[in-house]
Structure 1
Amino acid sequence: MSARLPTHLAVGALVRRVNDAGGFAVVRARGEAQTGAILLLIDEGRVVRGLERFRDLDDRESLVPAGPVDADGVAMDDYWRKRRASDPDLWVVELMIAQAERFAAETILVC
């Protein structure tokens, strides 16, 4: 049995933590509440990079790069919209805060 939080709870906790810390987090698209995949859009000013929650064969979770490398906002927007068209269960969350990857790892990954 997995100790993984339902996706809607993990996303809600991440958005709340980032906003409480003075950053900006918003859900761009809602997916399946229990088991939907999570794509994070990390806005670093001129570059937006993607990270996705990934579960390996040993049932360990990590954040892996997703989408175009060194993408501007338009390229990443096109990427996630195409992904969402093929996977309507996908959650898309945009984060604007220093150390966004740390916030995400501490909140949505199961140890």
Structure 2
Amino acid sequence: MALRSHRSLLTRIHHRFLIEPATVDDTAEYVAFRLKGAGADHELFSRESLAALHELASGSLREIDRLASAAMRESARRKRKLVDRDVVARVAETLTLSSSLG
């Protein structure tokens, strides 16, 4: 937002907040919270898939949302009840996330 074209907007902003990247545990809690809010009554992600979500999204909540949504769609398409690490990795490739599983 440091572009010249945003100067007027920047003069109106009084506070700026930086959200630190989520930890692996934060990611698991965040996904569980979002799923509960959507009405899920059981676990949809394996522990390994949550770790992969975190790693591939670099802790970014927006990327976690995007990747988790795509992984759930892919798992549903394959008629799987649990999103596993392989599905997360496959979906990440199609979404062209810059991070990779180590």
TM-score category (smaller protein): 0.3 to 0.5
Higher relative contact order, chain-length normalized (CA < 8 Å, sep 6+): 1
TM-score of the aligned structures, taking structure 2 as reference length = 0.34
Structure in which a larger fraction of residues adopt helix: 2
TM-score of the aligned structures, taking structure 1 as reference length = 0.32
